[in-house]
Amino acid sequence: MALFVANQLARWQGAPLADLPHLIFGAAQQPIGFALLERAGIDPHQLAKSLKGSEARETGPSGIRATTRAGDALRRAKELALEWSHPKATSGHLVIASAAAPTGWGKTFGSSIGVDPKSLRRVAESFPFVGEDLETSDVFIQLLELDWIQGDAREWLERRYIGYSIENSEDLRSSVALLVSSADGQGLSHYPDWGVRLGGLTGDTSLTLQCYQKAQSVRPEHADYFRLSGALALANRGEFEEAREIIRVLLERAPAPGIYVSAAQVEYLADRVDEARTYLIKASSTLGGESVAARQVAEILWHSIDGGFEHSLRAIVGSEPKKPHARLTRGLARIALAKDASSEGNPAASNELYQVINEYGIFGMEGVVLQALVVLAESQRVNGDERFSETKSRAIGLATRLGRPVRVRHLMSP
């Protein structure tokens, strides 16, 4: 991950090769490297800021390689791990090796940025976490228990721990519990951006609405994402005019395909299919430059409105989701295809919907569960299935708890 972040920074700066500043920046953005610098009396935030700079240049090439001296630092990090009998090289070893690397002037790189590599190494030799495997949550827990991790350092580690949990926990409810309990029980106030993300992934509209406005000030660079999340949450709650006003302001300022897709989602929830279609048409010309998730949401929405896109939806279903957003869109695609199969009288459709309900219930992604319940109930009503009343009751109860009454309004009609 340190190398990945180093390459990202090199591209952001327009550099053709990743060099020592990029390596140490990447290492300082990982919990072990961060905590090591903090323990050595070096402010990781200030160091990272000085290495990154304030303005981006032209984006550099993908697949950036390293300079010779950066490559030497990488090799030295591995040698340090072997020298200290550590199972693998971590961002801690990379911080030390990068800071100690000689520059063209015959001095160490660390000295040129105000880091004493010898002192850093002495601290590292008595720092038990340098050789720890970061692929578990235990490292975060142990670092947060250290009495010298306080203030900004503690907040930074807590934030990273919540992010790690969202990406790696199978049940997102555990991530919600971690968020709520963090910052001495004030996690929603300290990390509202994570609240918005978890609200979208779990389908908890109330969580999104509780956090989306404050998240804009906490993470201003992602303010539009939070506003769109708030608009979708409001639409799920039936407050369409408020949702449209958010969309209108965003489109007036900077129309973008992702905003058009969100606008289409709002109108589709409001049963205004023609307006939803119009927004999708506006998005389609430049949607290729958006994220995979945005394109997949658009494809699923197109399919729900006008059919087609079966090949795209089957590709989504056939992929192996490794991240929660990919898991979310895969669940929605499965529901859309099962709805088609149900309308064609395919008895396997009900089994598929039950599988989605059970599987995504385990994941804590109850918004997907709700959508599957609605499709299943509608199918059971049409087919005169005796389980309809039970499924309907379950869907209404879940929609009420999640703050998504719009999702079940068709079940309430005669």
> What integer pLDDT is reported at residue 285 of this predicted model?
77
Q: Are 283 and 253 in contact (CB under 8 A)?
A: no
Q: Structure pTM?
A: 0.88
C-alpha span between 156 and 162 (Å, rounded): 10
> What integer pLDDT is reported at residue 107 of this predicted model?
77
User: Among candidates 399, 397, 381, which has minimal Cα distance to 389?
Assistant: 381
C-alpha span between 23 and 25 (Å, rounded): 5
For the chain, percent of residues with pLDDT exceeding 70: 97
C-alpha span between 59 and 50 (Å, rounded): 19
Extract the tokens encoding 80. Answer: 């340090």
User: Within 10 Å of residue 78's Cβ, how many Cβ atoms?
Assistant: 15
User: Among candidates 46, 7, 47, which has minimal Cα distance to 23?
Assistant: 7
Helices 31-39, 20-28: inter-axial angle, 10-degree rounding? 90
The stretch 283-309 carries a mean pLDDT of 86
C-alpha span between 393 and 387 (Å, rounded): 10
- Count of helices and strands (H, E) across the chain: 25, 2
H/E segment holding residue 17: strand 17-18
Angle subtended at Cα 211 by Cα 185 and Cα 270, rounded to the nearest 5 degrees: 145
CA dihedral (228, 233, 235, 237) in degrees, to 10, reads: -170
pLDDT score of 317 more than 60: yes
> What integer pLDDT is reported at residue 345 of this predicted model?
87
Query: In sequence order, which residues have a C-beta less than 8 Å from that of residue 312 and are 6 or more positions away?
Result: 296, 299, 303
Helices in 191-271 by DSSP H: which ranges?
Answer: 192-202, 205-218, 223-236, 240-253, 257-269
> What integer pLDDT is reported at residue 305 of this predicted model?
93
Angle subtended at Cα 251 by Cα 247 and Cα 253, rounded to the nearest 5 degrees: 120
Extract the tokens encoding 171. Answer: 């049940």
Angle subtended at Cα 147 by Cα 42 and Cα 182, rounded to the nearest 5 degrees: 100
- At residue 324, the 3 state secondary structure works out as helix
- Condensed to tens digits (0 to 9), the pLDDT of residues 113-157 reads 889 889 999 999 888 888 876 656 788 888 999 999 999 999 999
The stretch 303-325 carries a mean pLDDT of 91
Extract the tokens encoding 298. Answer: 């658009």
User: Within 10 Å of residue 311's Cβ, how many Cβ atoms?
Assistant: 9
Mean pLDDT of the chain: 92
pLDDT score of 289 more than 80: no
> What integer pLDDT is reported at residue 134 of this predicted model?
60
Q: Are 72 and 24 in contact (CB under 8 A)?
A: no
Question: Which of 3.30.2130.10, 3.30.300.180, 2.40.30.110, 1.10.1780.10 would CATH assign to domain 2-149?
Answer: 1.10.1780.10
**Max avg pLDDT among 105-109, 288-292, 406-410:** 406-410
> What integer pLDDT is reported at residue 135 of this predicted model?
57
Beta bridge partners of 108: 102
Extract the tokens encoding 187. Answer: 């996690």
C-alpha span between 382 and 369 (Å, rounded): 20
